[in-house]
Amino acid sequence: MKDGFETLDCRGLSAPLTMLRIRQNLCCQGEAATPLHAVVDSDCDCDSLSSWLAGVDEDVHLMKGATNTETSRTANA
């Protein structure tokens, strides 16, 4: 966490599991929480996910990333 944030890889998880993983991470951090960068699948509905995370949304930054399958396909093209 030397950069002032923590990165959480949520690629491959469904939206409810992504929300659960983010909330669990935030609960474990306690009062001294640092901003959280959550990497999600490129087809993730970030607007819905943000609304589900109401109240903690300012501490969570959603970043869309390629899944392993998409990365492999691009590399082989």
**Domain-wise residue ranges, the chain:** 6-76
User: What are the angstrom distances between the C-alpha of 36 and each of 12, 16, 69, 75?
Assistant: 18, 17, 25, 29
Q: In percent, how much of the chain has pLDDT > 90?
A: 18
Q: 62 vs 58, which has greater pLDDT?
A: 62
Q: Report whether CATH 3.30.110 matches the domain 6-76.
A: yes
Class of residue 77 by CB neighbours under 10 A (exposed 0-12, middle 13-18, buried 19+):
exposed
Model's pTM, two decimal places?
Answer: 0.68
Report whether pLDDT(24) > 90.
no
